Amino acid sequence: TQLLEQSPQFLSIQEGENLTVYCNSSSVFSSLQWYRQEPGEGPVLLVTVVTGGEVKKLKRLTFQFGDARKDSSLHITAAQPGDTGLYLCAGLNNAGNMLTFGGGTRLMVKP
Amino acid sequence: GAGVSQSPSNKVTEKGKDVELRCDPISGHTALYWYRQSLGQGLEFLIYFQGNSAPDKSGLPSDRFSAERTGGSVSTLTIQRTQQEDSAVYLCASSSGPRGSGAGDIQYFGAGTRLSVL
């Protein structure tokens, strides 16, 4: 069984601060996805990283896939209240037939 | 419809009763998934349907759980003799291709059904 550990589980910060969320595993994944889920909604895909060492930017969000494709990070610059939500990482196994989700990081950005 | 539709959005039931949860995937999507999400947690895979192939039921937690997908479209997840530990949000997702295909790697989620077993 492939496991993904996310840290921290909870994060409460002030508007304008920077933060980093981590997603770690002992397993290798063919790709890794990041989702954001708002209360009462389903998760929405933000980005997919595929290549070891890959960095993708989405406005103030920077996603990085580890060189060994076992871990990933999400960095948010100058967080805003609209960034509040549950951030989930999900790894696709090498066979491409199973997506495993991490436990999520619940982020609250206070104005 | 434009997105994945799930009904009901909320369901409160008594312990021991059966419940049916419905998922209407995006039109034309061949793959359909059910997940369970406990309060504020990650997603637990339950079952996967692809076209007319036999479903992957490897994530179903017990034989009280079953799912059908009729006509390759709408799916129903049934939980028999509900228990309090079944309380969770049940999410459905669909994708335009099978697992292992590029298109199949992108899943679109519904808003979920929040099940509360009293």
pLDDT-derived band of residue A94, with 50, 70 and 90 as boundaries? confident
Give the nearest partner residue to B40 out of A33, A43, A106, using CB atoms: A106
Residue, of B38 and A107, whose pLDDT is higher: A107
3-state secondary structure of B84: helix
Please write the tens of the pLDDT for every residue from B50-91: 988 889 999 999 999 999 998 879 999 999 999 999 999 999
Could you tell me which residue, B44 or A95, shows the higher pLDDT?
B44
Helix (H, G, I), strand (E, B) or coil at A83: helix
- Band (A98; pLDDT cuts 50, 70, 90): confident
Task: Give percent of chain B with pLDDT exceeding 90.
Answer: 77
Contact yes or no for B107 and A99 at CB 8 A: yes
Run of H or E residues at B15 = none
Cα B110 from chain centroid (whole Å): 9
Record: contact A44-B109, CB cut-off 8 A: yes
Query: Measured between alpha carbons, how far is B118 from B106 in angstroms, rounded to an integer?
Result: 35
Query: Across the interface, do B109 and A42 touch by the CB < 8 Å criterion?
Result: yes
Model confidence at B13, pLDDT cuts 50, 70, 90, reads: very high
Structure tokens at B103: 């298109």
Average pLDDT value over all residues in chain B = 92
What is the structure's pLDDT at B70? 84
- At B104, the pLDDT band (50, 70, 90 cuts) reads low
Of B42, B91, B111, the CB nearest to A103: B42
Q: Is A75 exposed, middle or buried (0-12, 13-18, 19+ CB in 10 A)?
A: middle
- The reported pLDDT for the residue numbered A2 is 61
| Mean pLDDT of the region A56-64 | 97
- Cβ pair A43:B109 closer than 8 A: yes
* Banded pLDDT at B39 (limits 50, 70, 90): confident
CA distance A63 to chain B (A): 17
CB contact under 8 A, A96 and B99: yes
Per CB-CB distance under 8 Å, the chain A contacts of B110 are 42
Q: For chain A, state the CA radius of gyration.
A: 13
What pLDDT, on a 0 to 100 scale, did the predictor assign at position A1?
A: 57
Tokens of B27: 């039109």
The predicted model gives B89-113 an average pLDDT of 87
> Is the pLDDT assigned to residue B1 strictly greater than 60?
no
- The percent of residues above 70 in pLDDT, for chain B, comes to 96
Contacts of B40 in chain A (CB under 8 A): 86, 104, 106
Contact B41 A103 (CB under 8 A): yes
The band of A42, judged by pLDDT with boundaries at 50, 70 and 90, is very high
In chain B, positions 56-85, which contact chain A (CB-CB < 8 Å)? none
Q: Give the phi and the psi of residue B98 in degrees, each rounded to 5.
A: -75, 165
Counting Cα atoms < 13 Å in the Cβ hemisphere of A36 gives 14
3-state secondary structure of A10: strand
pLDDT above 80 for A50: yes
* Cβ B105 vs Cβ B1: under 8 Å: no
In the prediction, which pLDDT does B92 show?
97
Least CB–CB distance from A104: residue in B41, B104, B112: B41
The C-alpha atoms of residue B109 and residue B113 are separated, in whole angstroms, by 12
In this prediction, residues B92-107 reach a mean pLDDT of 82
Give B39→chain A minimum CA distance, Å: 11
